[in-house]
Amino acid sequence: MTRYSLLAPNWMLKENSQRGFSLVEMAVVVVILGLVLGALLLPLQAQRNQVFQTQTETTMETARRALLGFAQANGRLPCPAIAISSGLEDPIGGGICTAKLGFLPAATLGIRPTDDNGFAIDGWNNRIMYAVAQHNAGGAVTPDYTTPGDMNTVGIAALQPELRVCLSSSGVTAAACSGGTESNYAINNAVAVVYSLGSTGSLGSGGNDEDENPSAPGTDSVFVSHDVTAAGTADGEFDHVFTWISPYVLYNAMIQAGQLH
């Protein structure tokens, strides 16, 4: 009778020992996988940002048209929304706005997309900001652009919108722009300014230029806009997205609607 050993032969032991991986080999594999995944994820992130950018630009153009339509229907621009107004202008009905700069009043304008509280949001789910001129002309006690009928009463020649957007790739301070020494304006007499805080809006300000564009209601009249720049540049990261309404576009729309003569 043939006897078989219970122990594996030497050649089997040698083969088994060659099947394992050392810790060094496993570490190398993990590093390679990380590099491969990173190379795949970066283009995907860039594509996502481009989709969000396009969505934001579409929302901003929708907001611009909605503001003009509101002015044609009501003889004024809406006030900004504030944190407790659930996406409605504050005060409702216009007049002296609670904040010159606040959130785009999506509920008042009837536009989407919005967050759960009724505020207009950009592609990155940050609330969109909105500022409106609050100048009083001819001794009026109420702001011309947010009070029903005031623009028509005061007259085009006397209206003085004061919102300014400085356009500079090298950086510019709000003080320089508001002081009139900055010649490179995108516009220096806007009646309304709408802007998105960009992809990093929820993380706070990215640089000196973004610092000029508040992320909360206030009284600002001066803003900075320019091409996208990355972190590490002279004035830091910048990815805010802007649009605005010039007085001539507003006046023409209101004349067509019979709200301004």
Q: What would the pLDDT profile of 218-240 be if each residue is shown by its tens digit?
A: 998 889 888 888 776 666 788 89
Q: How many CB atoms lie within 10 A of CB 66?
A: 20
Identify whether 38 is part of a domain: no
- Measured CA distances, 141 to 76, 78, 138, 151 (Å): 15, 17, 9, 13
Assess if residue 211 is contained within a domain.
Answer: yes
- Is position 245 within any domain? yes
Residue 157: inside a domain: yes
pLDDT of 66 over the 80 cut: yes
The pLDDT of residue 7 is above 70? no
Average pLDDT over residues 55-60: 94
On whether residue 95 sits in a domain, the answer given is yes
Average pLDDT (159-170) is 81
Residue 185, CA distances (Å) to 151, 233, 237, 241, 248 in order: 25, 21, 20, 16, 17
Q: What is the pLDDT of residue 38?
A: 63
The per-residue pLDDT of the chain, averaged, comes to 83
Q: What is the pLDDT of residue 181?
A: 52
Query: Whole-angstrom Cα distance, residue 92 to residue 129?
Result: 18
Task: List, in order, residues 6 or more apart from 211 with CB less than 8 Å away.
Answer: 205
Helices and strands of the chain, counted as H and E runs: 7, 7
Domain-located, residue 50: no
pTM score, whole prediction: 0.80
**% of the chain surpassing 70 pLDDT:** 77
Pairing of strands 101-103, 241-245: unpaired
Host domain of residue 194: 57-256
**Residue bearing the bigger pLDDT, 12 or 86:** 86
Helix (H) or strand (E) holding 223: strand 222-225
103: in domain: yes
Structural domain count, the chain: 1
Is the pLDDT reported for residue 17 higher than 60? no
C-alpha to C-alpha distances, 156 to 59, 189, 192, 251, 258, nearest whole angstrom: 29, 13, 16, 8, 14
pLDDT at 237: 80
**pLDDT at residue 261, as a whole number:** 87
Distance CA 160, CA 174 (A): 19
Q: Is residue 100 in a domain?
A: yes
* 144-148, 194-198, 219-223: the lowest-pLDDT one: 219-223
